[in-house]
Structure 1
Amino acid sequence: MKIAPGPRRATARATLTIGLILLAMQFLAIVFAPWIAPYSPVDANPINALQEPSLKHLFGTDVSGMDIFSRVVFATRINLLISVTAVAIAFAIGVPIGLAIGYYKGWISSLAMRIFDFVQSFPVFVLGMVLVSVMGQEIWNVAIVLAVLFTPVFARLIRAEVLSLRDRPFIAAARCSGATDQTIMFKHILPNALTPAIVQISISIGMAILLTAGLSFVGAGVRMPTPEWGLMVSNGAQHMILGIWWVALFPGLAIVFSVLTFALLGDAAKQIFDPQNRSIS
């Protein structure tokens, strides 16, 4: 007899639904940005500088006269492109590394862990600033830097799961049946070790969005006139003391909106994959 889903399961479904709706809204902004945005995101018009929100400019204009609403919409492409690409690269590199160093014990595994310790010993934001400064302030360079920062996270998660699985009875049975190390690793261990890494994807994307915006805010990310939320907040922050609030407010809200989306998805995934919340038959 199957137990009816409890309050935690219902909460997870509601959280997942809200997260997916917010994600769909951002996806629509990415795909249909040229049709949603009424103006070009990079065309400056000093005559229209610092206009308040109105029917003509929904979010107002910035100091260069660029339409903030159009820039916020197009910035969704930039911020999510950087964040999703960075996390995808980190996942693709970190998972195999974590699988290998968790299954094969030895000096290579120890060396890899010490390298991860070294990378993670630096403050993430400071290390990101240094790497971007060295590599150059380009979109793909920012994505690569974030991938370097997140790779140890995925590698450690997978390694911890592999260490807990490699000596289980079903793995011993696979060895006795003549299965090779590659078969054991990719067929028996990896599918059972992926859950924490999958949950971490949404969390890492949210963190990547914040780091991307933070790097641009301090001048170490993408450069003008590229529409990017953190860069827009930086350009508008200096005017807030003069009562010009809209230049920084709307891109700031976009950051909150996007990070909240992936936080909800990550929380829902964590609850759904939690064995305690699964239905028992």
Structure 2
Amino acid sequence: MASLRSLLPYLRRHPAALAGLVLLTLQVAAIVFAPVLSTHSPVEADPLSSLQPPSLEHWFGTDVSGMDIYSRIIHATRINLLISISAVALALALGVPMGLLIGYYRGIVSSLMMRLFDFIQSFPVFVLGMALVSVMGQEIWNVAIVLAVLFTPMFARLIRAEVLSLRERPFISAARCSGATDFSIMFQHILPNALTPAIVQVSISIGMAILLTAGLSFIGAGVRMPTPEWGLMVSSGAQQMILGVWWVSLFPGLAIVLSVLCFALLGDAVKDLSDPTTRTRQ
């Protein structure tokens, strides 16, 4: 309750954070109540209703296959957030202990791991993503695993940088003098103080994962039809844009924009709340 009481005044002072929370609530509602909120089947094609503009029957119109765009956007929220959150969670679970170990134990293994991270991050994201998806297959979980591989070095570097700073602090020396083991020092003393940058990065990384998921699907290296996915929907309507069929790509594109904006705003809010100097000023 105390944390909730401190959060409410913050939201009143920061409308951007409140807007991010509202957008997140709408996405959660779309995930939980997708069958109730959708008006048509998200995967059922109707050639007789192909490329119909927005109307009372089809609120956002239909695509070239006659599938209802509104219903597909609602159900695509599940797919995009499932992939993005799963990928970031896996990257966090892998990157945090890796960064902790290579930051605490410096040596050949640590140097080799850093060079491996340099190698992974030297590739253009889409090129590496396309290569990995083509090898593993265009399945939802494969896309999530590929994104996790791309994000793991980022979390490992964040934790390693914090560990390198914390391991020389006086309270760590005091812990060593008291007989604490390396395991105890790493997980009881260093890790709780090193997690803040990674926690802040989680929200931003989810937005990045949404963009990458949509981008991979847009170029044909992500989720396959007829699975509802925002980037795939934008791609299917891109060819009709020149013919004046704007609704097929516009509405899923707006969904991407609002979802990424949501996590960007929440990332800024988490950063402010985790910064003690900001809390003191407020």
TM bin (shorter chain): over 0.9
CA distance in 2: counterparts of 1:20 and 1:257, whole angstroms: 12
Structure 2 equivalent of residue 64 of structure 1: 65
Deviation at 1:11, TM superposition (A): 8.3
Q: Is the 8 A contact 1:22 1:261 kept in 2?
A: yes
Q: Could you say if the C-alpha distance between residues 170 and 264 of structure 1 is closer, same or farther in structure 2, counting changes exceeding 3 Å? A: same
CA distance in 2: counterparts of 1:12 and 1:88, whole angstroms: 30
1:246 matched to 2:252: no
Following TM superposition, the consecutive aligned residue runs of length 4 or more in structure 1 with deviations greater than 6 angstroms are 9-12
Instruction: State the AA in 2 paired with 1:64.
Output: S
Deviation at 1:166, TM superposition (A): 0.1
Q: Could you say if the C-alpha distance between residues 13 and 187 of structure 1 is closer, same or farther in structure 2, counting changes exceeding 3 Å? A: farther
Structure 2 equivalent of residue 228 of structure 1: 229
Q: Is the 8 A contact 1:12 1:272 kept in 2?
A: no
Which piece of structure 1 moves more, 126-135 or 193-202? Answer: 126-135
Deviation at 1:12, TM superposition (A): 7.1
CA distance in 2: counterparts of 1:143 and 1:55, whole angstroms: 36
1:193 matched to 2:194: yes
1:79-103 CA distance string (max 9 Å, x none)? 0000000000000000000000000
CA distance in 2: counterparts of 1:137 and 1:62, whole angstroms: 22
CA distance in 2: counterparts of 1:102 and 1:244, whole angstroms: 53
Deviation at 1:47, TM superposition (A): 0.4
SS of the aligned residue for 2:77 comes to: helix
Structure 2 equivalent of residue 85 of structure 1: 86
Structure 2 equivalent of residue 180 of structure 1: 181
SS of the aligned residue for 1:194 comes to: helix
1:57-111 CA distance string (max 9 Å, x none)? 0000000000000000000000000000000000000000000000011111011
Structure 2 equivalent of residue 75 of structure 1: 76
Count of aligned positions: 274
CA distance in 1: counterparts of 2:46 and 2:131, whole angstroms: 34
Deviation at 1:275, TM superposition (A): 3.1
Structure 2 equivalent of residue 148 of structure 1: 149
Q: Could you say if the C-alpha distance between residues 184 and 144 of structure 1 is closer, same or farther in structure 2, counting changes exceeding 3 Å? A: same
Q: Is the 8 A contact 1:12 1:268 kept in 2?
A: no
Q: Which aligned pairs between 1:252-263 and structure 2 lie closer than 5 A?
A: 252-263=253-264
1:195-241 CA distance string (max 9 Å, x none)? 00000001100000000000000000010000000000000010010
SS of the aligned residue for 1:279 comes to: helix
TM-score, normalising length: structure 1: 0.95
Runs of at least 5 residues in structure 2 that lack an aligned partner in the other structure: 1-5
Which piece of structure 1 moves more, 16-25 or 178-187? Answer: 16-25
Q: Which has the higher contact order (CA 8 A, sep 6+)?
A: 1
Q: Is the 8 A contact 2:159 2:198 kept in 1?
A: yes
Deviation at 1:278, TM superposition (A): 2.3
CA distance in 1: counterparts of 2:226 and 2:181, whole angstroms: 54
CA distance in 2: counterparts of 1:59 and 1:15, whole angstroms: 27
Identity score, percent:
75
Runs of at least 5 residues in structure 1 that lack an aligned partner in the other structure: none
SS of the aligned residue for 1:202 comes to: helix
Structure 1 equivalent of residue 278 of structure 2: 277
1:125 matched to 2:126: yes
Structure 2 equivalent of residue 111 of structure 1: 112
Q: Is the 8 A contact 1:137 1:220 kept in 2?
A: yes
CA distance in 1: counterparts of 2:23 and 2:11, whole angstroms: 19
